[in-house]
Chain A
Amino acid sequence: MSTAVQPDIEFPKHWHRRHLLDLESLSSDEISTILDVAQQLKDLTQGCRHKISLLAGKTCANLFFENSTRTRNSFSLAAKRLGADTVEFSSVGSSVAKGETFVDTAKTIEAMGVEWVVTRHGTPGTPHLLSRELDCCVLNAGDGPHGHPTQGLLDMLTIKQHRGDIKGLTVALVGDIAHSRTARSNIWGLSKLGAHVIICGPPTLVSPRWVELGFEVAHHLDDILPRCDVLNLLRIQFERQRARPFPSVHEYAALYAMNGARMRKAKDDILIMAPGPINRGVEITPEVADGPHSVILEQVTNGIAVRMAALWLLSGANERARSNTTSSPAD
């Protein structure tokens, strides 16, 4: 059993945010700060494996209204690695089933004295709504197809570890952009850090409006593949689609799956990423998923690192806000 040690890390002076709601509202400096802190915490915990006592005595509530295993566990582990306690809450068998609104549920959890509410919900904007109603820190662990900021951050941390700098890289997001919160978080994060983002998929999943917003859109993966430094392969989210946006999975795989033949057309040092869960044979074949260019499992480890960073930064800002608003230091 590991013993918690007092870590050697300095809180960034310019960090003031109490909530992590999306990457669109963060500056490039703020994104870089989170990534730097994540790297430091990853090193301090020896690759997110050991425990340090940075956040001992605090409690993190996971408030998930949609199914999740990896993100939920990743947040729990991140909190525990920093010495915090966790409390789990899911919509199944909860008061939500009894007619309580999610805001009331969140307020109830907050009243139990938690430092953070980590929330996942099927409707965009729910974390933003909570952040206006709660005094504790709110972390968005996915709000419908809108945002998944820690996923965007872990993707960027993974790229940084391999390439040093994100600026100037060409990164293609491939697949179900329409229903993907990972895509939206990547689009904002990567473009703020100076990457060239290509959004690739069939027109039923990639709106031409992305072009109006200044992004490159491609419908044929083979056309853009030779230019890409990074491919982020997004899962087809059948559960969010009302009508199937392409004729068959078979056809989709033929047009967009990253396979051995396509790997031969790619750059020698291309990074293959996927937010998971991956559908082998749909967006990625086993030889690519398990191949030397795949960093999919590193992404998972980095997920804990960026979540540790987010928990620590938000809590620090919250403490600072509390000490500024209350005159009594005993509070």
Chain B
Amino acid sequence: MNETVKRDLLIENARLVDPSQDLDCSARLLVINGCVSKIDPTDQEIPATCERLDAKGKIVAPGLIDLGAELREPGNEEDETIESGSHAALAGGFTSVLCCSSTRPCIDSPGAVEFVRQKATKARGARVHVIGCLSKGREGEQMAELGLLSVAGAVAFSDAPKSMPNDALLKRALEYCRMFDLPIFDRPEVPELAEGGMMHDGQVSLLLGLKGLPTEAEDLAVARDVRLAEATEGRLHVGPVSTMGAVDMIRRVKSRGIDVTASVCPHNLCLSDVKLRSFDSKYKVHPPLRSEKHVETLRNALADGTIDAIQSGHMPRSREKKMDDLDLSPFGGSALETTLATTITYMIGEQLIDWKTAINRLSTAPARIAGVPGGTLKPGAPADIVIIDPDATWMVDATRFRSHCISSPLDGHSLQGRATHTIVGGEIRYRLTPDLGHIA
């Protein structure tokens, strides 16, 4: 990172929302040398050369942290690159992204971790933290070299978006990882039950004749995951989850004091499987759009804290891939640039959660789950900050995404709320400019 561009910064007239300090108040925020220096500094404490940023009417919060986005590089640069993905993240208000291990070759060696980290540093987008493979080659047979991966900088281990089909391997890895105090992420799905599925298994799939992804494929995997977490006392994060059964099980193990965390994707909080009636591949996403009752359950579970975090579920796929018929078209879509607004529109806007809870689910909780810096505006913390215009109403036009992927289940939706500035380590790396025409 180029240290010389870092200027001291005073954000004024802001509504400061920081769940890590239980704050929601009007305040000034002083950033010095890339770190948060003080909330409400006195005039004497503000350096004369300080850049001033007027955040009147805006919300200032710790930058968002994504628990898992595919950046597709190396190997699938037609879908996304580390540069395009990390800049899409900035535009979505994310200051940190955990990138999935599902590249080609996959991230199962220290060299691969190093490659991503170097590319990300050069890209100067959001910070990119690396999720290392859980199994060698993501084949579900042998444990990857988790210790060496952690030395190289991996912050978590997972084969996501693929599930870990091998129970014994998952158990051993949960035990083994305890000595690094690093979490394992599992995207819960029993592959045999999900095989060939194109959408949620329910009334709509029945009518459309589309092979379904049954909820029990997820429920069974969650049951296994939480039981193994309990047995090993390992650090386990399950997600994204999408079913009532998953929520029910997570709620029960949490009530018994077992430290398991869970996340949900924004599309599962607002869209249902009825969308597939159009046969449009932009609705073929992962996890699949479920029926209304699952959506309702997930919304409530996110509100009451059973689900700890929102993760973008960013799975970019190139246009030509998504143009194919529903069977051949891959699961996935662009999500980094809509996650914040989806949360604001469908969770805050419908009064299921307040701002503090929203920022907790999008920033503070993910930081804690992944054990990465950020998620707080406490003095001394890196100045990873998002400034949000809560009233901006905009129409999602996926062709204007910074992400290479222009397929989004929210394309064409009118959403509320938008990141206007994304600040990484005290440096304003993203500014929403009116000439982009994004603000309606």
Contact = CB atoms under 8 A, between A and B. Distances in A.
A207 B206 contact: yes
B325 interface: yes
Nearest to A212: B203
B198 to A, nearest CB: 8
A123 B327 contact: yes
Nearest to A188: B207
Nearest to A208: B206
A101 B208 CA distance: 22
Interface residues on B, range: 10 to 19
A124 B210 CA distance: 6
B195 A242 contact: yes
A212 B207 CA distance: 12
Interface stretch (A139-147, A291-299, A307-315): A139-147
A123 B324 CA distance: 11
B323 A124 contact: no
A209 B209 contact: no
B325 A184 contact: no
A213 B203 CA distance: 8
Contact of A146 (B202, B209, B278, B320): B209
Interface in B173-212: 195-196, 202-203, 206-210
A143 B327 CA distance: 12
A252 interface: no
Given A125-B325, A128-B279, A209 B210 contact: no
A42 interface: no
Contacts of B231: none
Contacts of A128: 278-279
A129 interface: yes
Interface string A27-54: 0000000000000000000000000000
Interface string B299-339: 00000000000000000000010011111100000000000
B196 A242 contact: yes
A195 B71 CA distance: 53
Interface string A235-256: 0000000100000000000000
Interface residues on A, range: 20 to 34
A121 B195 contact: no
Contacts of B202: 209
B121 to A, nearest CB: 37
A213 B210 CA distance: 17
Nearest to A21: B279
Contacts of A207: 206
Interface in A99-149: 101-103, 121-126, 128-129, 143-147
B328 A24 contact: no
A210 interface: yes
A80 interface: no
A275 to B, nearest CB: 15
A209 B279 contact: no
A181 interface: yes
By Cβ-Cβ distance, the 5 closest A-B pairs, closest first, are A125-B279, A145-B209, A146-B209, A123-B327, A123-B325
Interface of A: 24, 101-103, 121-126, 128-129, 143-147, 179, 181, 184, 207, 209-210, 212-213, 242
